[in-house]
Structure 1
Amino acid sequence: MYHYTAIQWLFFFYFYCFFGWCFESTYVSLKSRKLVNRGFCRGPFLPLYGSGAIMMLVVSMPFQDNLVLVYIAGCIGATVLEYVTGVTMEALFKVRYWDYSKNKFNFQGHICLGASLAWGGLTILMTEFIHKPIEHLVLSIPDSILTPVTLVLTALIGADFALSFKAALDLRDVLEKMEKAKEDMLRIQKRLDVIIAVTSEDLENRREGFSDSLAQKKEDFTASITTRVEDLKSNIEGKLESFRTSAQKSPNQYLESVKNEVAELRQKYTRSVADRENVSSLRDFFQRDMIRSNPTMSSEKFKEALEELKEHSNKKNE
């Protein structure tokens, strides 16, 4: 059984946060062939590794004399921790900081069988080999030194986490604003389609077609969310230019109310494009660093917007 003070438990947590950062950053940097400051925080700490290490120590305490039970406890404990953390972070920030969707036997992309089995092995490695010399080192440090050092680390890491948390929330807001601008453009495109249809020569046929498809409009709009923004912009600009050319050639073909509505749609489109470009420029360093530090970050709902932000972030960092 582990008999540590609260300060010692806290120091172990910080130590393994740092150890995890060293391991993860080295692995990702070698894989990417460039230096990557991996993780959620800006400093050299990965809270998930610290939490995982403490979890391993806690769940293995009742079974220290039985490696099989230590392994099983590690598998279960780490899987629960990883799932709860993944679901919570996605609910808060609308992105996934890791994703097992491409792995076999995964559940919702947050956990997978391979990772769970590996966690069990790491729990044995942790309790039998890694932690023992670390424990000996930490217990040899006098309380008069360990306590102030731990309190200073608490202040520094707490401030770092607060800044990183805010950056992640701000990044979520950027993604939502980019998606809203895209949805506004989709509505503009739909309205232009209707205007062009009802003012064309085959008005009656088009009206019949629109009447039959009213029930599918919501479904069609949802499906059109997958349209790429650049294709959407090109489509809208083409329709606006076509209407402008047609109105110049045959000014009496369109009612004044139709011309005014198209002019209003043009203004809305211009604002939507400007708003999207403004929020996607990523002027905030912490938001750019959050993306750079998590190259595997993904989002099903904001996939295109997130990829665009990654591209902008890479250009600014270069």
Structure 2
Amino acid sequence: MLIVYYIIYFFIYAIIGWAIEVTYNGIREGKYINCGVLNGPWCPIYGFAAISILFMLGKVNTYSKLFLFFASMIVASIIELITGFILEKVFHKKWWDYSDKRFNIAGYICAEYSLIWGALCFILYEAIHPMIVKLISPFPIKILIIINSVFAIIFIVDTVATINTILGINKKFKEIEKSKTKLGEVTTEIGERIAQKGIKTAEKTSDRRKEFDERSQEFKNNFQKYGEKRLLKAFPNLIHDLEDKAYDFENLKNRISKK
């Protein structure tokens, strides 16, 4: 019945991982952010990473702390790399991006966070997991099966709902990508008019600026559902393209006003 224990460990570590993420982002941002992909208080990537590390390291007969640390770091980094790659291929956008960090691989993973994951996983394996085992071991298998079943049902419902939300976001992103071409044309047109005909002509483009502003706001207002707003808040990198375009246009308007 080893699978029963691995399932409960998955949920426990998914919840612990979620709590760590919420705490970290709460300290950094000064506010609560549900930073998981799913709506519930769990981050599956932490659950998968934990049980993968427990399973793999459990097969290695070594007492080397250094080996355990680097093995934990590698396993966690591979899982983050694969997850980030799959999400980008499906949605054509990075859910997180470490490109501004040193020693990163395609923005999916970087040395800084890999070391953090390695340290966390090492602590999990050496200190936290033994306590979890002591906490879980007294429960009869039948009770654990019931607990696992309840969590699994809630988890599946949450996953289906989140997938539905993500598909909706992906559809809207495709619509936005089409409209962004139009926005780029507006920006280019204003720039060309400034260069070719001077300030007076640029002032005549106020209606076009208004159109750009309205479209930018319209795009952001597209994501009004709770699940959509939560995901974009948790993974702001998903909508950075639109924000960057709006930022570029604001700079253009400032240049117009200064002339």
- TM-score bin, normalised by smaller chain: 0.7 to 0.9
Structure with larger Rg: 1
Structure 2 CA distance, aligned partners of 1:239 and 1:35? 39
Gaps of 5+ in 2: 194-200, 247-259
Identify the residue that residue 241 of structure 2 maps to in structure 1: 304
Instruction: Tell me if 1:76 matches 2:74.
Output: yes
- Tell me if structure 2 keeps the 8 A contact 1:174–1:280: no
CA contact (8 A) 1:298 1:306 kept: no
SS, match of residue 63 in structure 1: coil
Question: Where does residue 136 of structure 1 map in the other structure?
Answer: 134
Aligned-pair identity (%)? 23
Q: What is the distance in 2 between the residues matched to 1:100 and 1:190?
A: 30
2:220 alignment partner in structure 1: 280
TM-score, normalised via structure 1 length = 0.64
In the TM superposition, residue 303 of structure 1 has moved relative to its aligned partner by: 3.0
| Structure 1 residues 148-201: Cα deviation after superposition (integer angstroms, max 9, x where no partner) | 11111101011112212222232222222122112135457889999x9xxxxx
Within 5 A, what are the aligned runs for 1:169-318?
169-186=167-184, 238=205, 278-281=218-221, 282-294=223-235, 297-299=236-238, 303-305=240-242
Cα pair distance change 1:165/1:81, threshold 3 Å: same
Mapped partners of 2:9, 2:42: distance in 1 = 12
Q: Deviations over 1:99-152 (max 9, x none)?
A: 211211111111112222333333321211110110121121112211111111
Q: Deviations over 1:262-290 (max 9, x none)?
A: xxxxxxxx8x9987755531232211121
Q: In structure 2, what is the Cα distance between the partners aligned to 1:99 and 1:191?
A: 31
1:14 pairs, out of 8, 11, 34, with: 11
Please, what is the CA RMSD of the aligned residues?
3.3
Give the number of aligned pairs: 237
Which shows bigger deviation, 276-285 or 72-81? Answer: 276-285
Q: Which residue of 2 aligns with 1:91?
A: 89
Write out the 4+ residue segments of structure 1 that deviate beyond 3 Å after TM superposition. 184-194, 234-237, 272-280, 306-309
Deviation at 1:97, TM superposition (A): 2.9
What TM-score do the two structures reach when normalised by structure 2?
A: 0.77
Secondary structure of residue in 1 paired with 2:37: coil
- Structure 1: tracts of 5 or more residues without a match: 197-233, 242-269, 310-318
Is 2:35 the partner of 1:38?
yes
Alignment match, 1:51: 48
Confirm whether residue 152 of structure 1 aligns to residue 150 of structure 2: yes
Q: Deviations over 1:206-233 (max 9, x none)?
A: xxxxxxxxxxxxxxxxxxxxxxxxxxxx
Give SS of 1:37's match: coil
Question: Is contact 1:92-1:169 (8 Å) kept?
Answer: no
The answer as to whether partners of 2:190 and 2:205 remain within 8 angstroms in 1 is: no
